[in-house]
Amino acid sequence: MKSKLSFTLSQIAAQCNAEVLGEGSTLISGIGTIAGATQGEITFLANTLYRDSLKHTRASAVILSAEDASFSPSPCLISKNPYATYARAAQMLFPAEATPIGVHPSAVIAQDVVLSENVSIGPHVVIESGAQIGRGVVIDSGTYIGRDTVIGANSRLYSGVRLYHETHIGERAIIHSGVVIGSDGFGMAWDKGGWIKIPQIGRVVIGHDVEIGANTTIDRGAIENTVIEDGVKLDNQIQIAHNCHIGANTVIAGCTGVSGSTTIGKNCRIGGGVGIVGHLNICDGVTVTGFTMITKSITEPGIYSSGMPGVQHKNWMETLVHLRHLSDWIKRIKSLEKVLKKEE
């Protein structure tokens, strides 16, 4: 992928925590994969297993670790963390696009909203009374900011985000299209043959440096708040129920649902399609692999799983039959044991 910018390898090294091996004046004006990179692009090797594939790369430079450097046919950026160096180089070559400062005339903004300097408010945005928009915030078209909601400096809300009233977003947030934050939690009481709605009077409070993927939903608290700490990264189509608390730097992959009042610790890594039952405590440093259901609190860091890998349909049908009759087989084992015991 070609950038509109270009830098020498030395310039990139200086800003990305890496050292040049080879010609530092090599001009870099794009990023590519090992197989797909073309002349002028830089690529990276994050996994030493694939170092043989470097042989055929047409990249003009490679980001890699010192141990793998001899496998590169091109000048290198040597880094202790090639993946992070690649991230930084990509940020340099592909910076966030500047958005025009100012408020589009079609935006509807309540009189008392606090707009800090350098905000960019797109067409058809609506901002309700009492909201506070921090310095350098970008709000794309059609986004809705509810009453008394606060958005920290340098956050970006893409088109069509919906923040209900009293939501608090920290600084440098990135919130993608279709995200809904602060909608009512799922709370009702059964009484005399019908459901009574329980007003959801808590809020959603989100820390700094949080990214939230497209169409993810985060419900407001029932009484107390739903809390997302600093540095949390949520993928697309995640559902966070009321009163959850997600610890700092935890990452959650797409299509995962977390039920109400569950606490997830810091630095956890939750896979995609996971379901976590309500009212649990997951400690710091837990990894949950994809498609797992967590039904109990977890007190030990480690990896937890229950995803069932797909196999050929007829084999799976066979396994299901066996599972259905597991009790019978166990009885037959016990009978065998009894017979043998008698014989002894």
> Catalytic residue positions?
242
Other Cβ atoms closer than 10 A to 216: 23
**Binding map of a copy of itself across residues 66-95, x = CB under 8 A, - = no contact:** ---------------x-xx-xxx-xx-xx-
Shortest distance, position 117 Cβ to a copy of itself, whole Å: 24
Consecutive H or E run containing 258: strand 257-258
Query: Token pair for residue 235?
Result: 């993928």
Q: What CA–CA distance (Å, rounded) separates 108 from 123?
A: 9
Return all residues near 123 (Cβ < 8 A) that are at least 6 apart. 104, 106, 107, 141, 142
Asked whether 219 and 238 are in contact (CB, 8 A), the reply is no
- Identified binder of a copy of itself from the candidate list 9, 63, 204, 241, rule CB under 8 A: 241
Distance in Å, CB of 129 to a copy of itself, minimum: 11
**If phi over 0 gives left and psi between -120 and 50 gives alpha, with beta otherwise, what is residue 35?**
alpha
Residues 113-142 close enough to bind a copy of itself by CB under 8 A: 122-124, 126, 140-142
Single-letter amino acid, residue 80: K
Q: What is the DSSP string of 72-87?
A: -SS-EEE-SSHHHHHH
Which amino acid, one-letter code, is at 138?
V
The strand pairing partners of 183, in sequence order, are 219
Q: Cβ closer to a copy of itself: 117 or 302? A: 302
Q: Report, in Å, the least distance between residue 21 CB and a copy of itself.
A: 20
Residues 250-309 that bind a copy of itself (CB under 8 A): 251, 253-255, 257, 259, 272-273, 275, 277, 287-296, 302-309
What character string, x for contact with a copy of itself (CB under 8 A) and - otherwise, covers 30-69?
-xxx--x---------------------------------
**Which C-beta is closer to a copy of itself: that of 9 or that of 232?**
232
Sheet with strand 150-151: strands edge to edge: 114-115, 132-133, 150-151, 168-169, 204-206, 226-228, 245-246, 263-264, 281-282
**Residue 21 or 218: which CB sits closer to a copy of itself?**
218
Q: How far is the CB of 88 from a copy of itself (least distance, A)?
A: 6
As measured in angstroms, the least distance from the Cβ of 74 to a copy of itself is 17
Q: Give the binding range for a copy of itself (CB under 8 A) out of 6-14, 53-61, 69-77, 184-192.
A: 184-192
Nearer CB in complex with a copy of itself: 10/141: 141
Cβ(303)–Cβ(321) under 8 Å? no
